[in-house]
Structure 1
């Protein structure tokens, strides 16, 4: 399996180039949709040509691994913007995972770029906080997903556009519409009045179930993460 990869995506967003630039090239904007908005850029090679191009290259790791993330922003008309995103690099000489990194990560970027589109369309200009929590190691199995669905009150597969009411015990009820689903994958993406809530099954990568929520109001982020972590730990205790 190749250790070099290149993931190329293009999306049309219902917003101005200035809104898209803010979302992809500032920490505040990244907190509204990206998978690692609070990571430091220290030591990274960063290129900025505002408001058209933003690129980040990671330093080379000991095993030779390197990642490059490039965003190209171009106005289509007065109300829409085209974003071209490229994630490329080398996984390192000791990479030996059985899954196809480019393919699997590409599916992940589909979801994150969709989250970006939802943020710009429904929540642009609102404060954003990314809340993430992982279940314990025992939840790193395909069978664990059914346990999660039962705890949320979900019955059967979900479809985009479906109204869904999630009831995690001890946490606020989440009432909204399914905004994203991944065919063949166990995943729930829900848009409510105040956020985009994501539940991930990641056993194919040997990882536990996780949540990654984007909440567009002022919250205690650390306290909210702690509450979701405690819920996941209790669920799979």
Structure 2
């Protein structure tokens, strides 16, 4: 049965509002994934066939999809409000994700709710440590065998991530090809792990509880970074951990 949902988050970040605006409207993949930048006007075309409902730079941006193009969602709206703090040196952000789920409401809402926290955390990491550096973005998906609730724990063990390591801890993990990655464990929850190296954000999505395989995204800000090479390396790593299927 169709039912409306609304997910609301508010936070502050130590960058000017204009930098937050650029991050959420240019679609570079710096913190989320590469996507079509919105046409800069109300009524213009937005990402994934959405329509720009509000365009008030650098204060408010809203896009809306009447047909979200997903089997369990008929309406999707993303609303970003950005306000200055400390005479424009900082920004306050209010983010509202709303719409209509048409099936399996509890599972869909749970997934969207938890992903929202991770995505917005990644936005803050990007703004604080990397913006506006160019990004090479890669995204890979694990084999079907990784579509289980314990997949993220298995990936953490393969990285050599200590069980007791908490967000904010400096860690050395074993990445693709046995290469050691010195990083900050910037996010850790039962379904998500975030690593921040000197030049990249590496995000692990344990989606087994929602019936989907484990995913990894790499936002690489190193000069000359190769998204294809990053993706191939982490795909090999995933296949090694879970076996190809």
Q: TM-score range by the shorter chain?
A: 0.7 to 0.9
CA distance in structure 2 between the partners assigned to 1:10 and 1:214 by the alignment: 24
Partner residue of 1:196? 201
**Residue 114 of structure 1: which of 83, 97, 121 is its match?**
121
Partner residue of 2:34? 37
1:159 aligns with 2:157: no
CA distance in structure 2 between the partners assigned to 1:128 and 1:109 by the alignment: 21
CA distance in structure 1 between the partners assigned to 2:68 and 2:149 by the alignment: 32
Deviation at 1:45? 0.5
Deviation at 1:96? 2.5
Partner residue of 1:89? 99
Number of corresponding residues: 229
Name structure 1 gaps, 5 residues minimum.
none
**Residue 74 of structure 1: which of 75, 83, 91 is its match?**
83
User: Which aligned segments of 4 or more residues in structure 1 are displaced greater than 4 angstroms?
Assistant: 61-64
Q: Aligned Cα RMSD in Å?
A: 2.2
Q: Tell me: CA distance 1:2–1:204, structure 2 relative to 1, closer, same or farther (3 Å).
A: farther
Asked if structure 1 preserves the Cα contact closer than 8 Å seen for 2:150 and 2:208, the reply is: no
Asked if structure 1 preserves the Cα contact closer than 8 Å seen for 2:176 and 2:234, the reply is: no
CA distance in structure 1 between the partners assigned to 2:68 and 2:187 by the alignment: 34
Q: Tell me: CA distance 1:44–1:210, structure 2 relative to 1, closer, same or farther (3 Å).
A: same
Name structure 2 gaps, 5 residues minimum.
38-46
Structure 1 or 2: more strand by fraction? 2
